[in-house]
Amino acid sequence: QVQLVESGGGLVQPGGSLRLSCASSELDLDEHAIAWFRQAPNKEREGVSCITGTTYYADSVKGRFTISRDNAKNTVYLQMNSLRSEDTAVYYCAAIRITRFFADIWRSAGRYDYWGQGTRVTISS
């Protein structure tokens, strides 16, 4: 079974930073579009960012979050700066093969084939 594994979540104060990682031992992540989604309590899962050869960001995180790849480590990162209480959520990474990716659907969770188990991010003083 293909697995994506997220790590890096935790508790930080408002204004702080975290770096999330998404890795896989089964998938070549550079052959896939990798997206980060998040889900806060009682809210729908929302797309945060995505990377192909291009990067995509939700308006709510532009200028604060940066998505990147390290192909040598087969890992995708989400650097999160200037964190706010509203960033509190479980963060998931998801993958879809590049050949099946379309930019206008990057925020559609149902399009992705593979998901991680999530990592919890809590922003609180």
Dihedral, CA of residue 89, residue 123, residue 78 and residue 49, to nearest 10? 50
pLDDT tens for residues 93-111?
Answer: 999 999 999 999 999 999 9
pLDDT given for residue 1 in this prediction: 72
**Taking a C-beta distance cutoff of 8 angstroms, is the pair 100, 50 a contact?**
no
pLDDT tens for residues 1-57?
Answer: 778 999 999 999 999 999 999 999 999 999 999 999 999 999 999 999 999 989 999
pLDDT tens for residues 57-71?
Answer: 999 999 999 999 999
**Taking a C-beta distance cutoff of 8 angstroms, is the pair 16, 2 a contact?**
no
Number of CB atoms found within 10 A of residue 31's CB: 10
72 pLDDT band, cuts 50/70/90, is very high
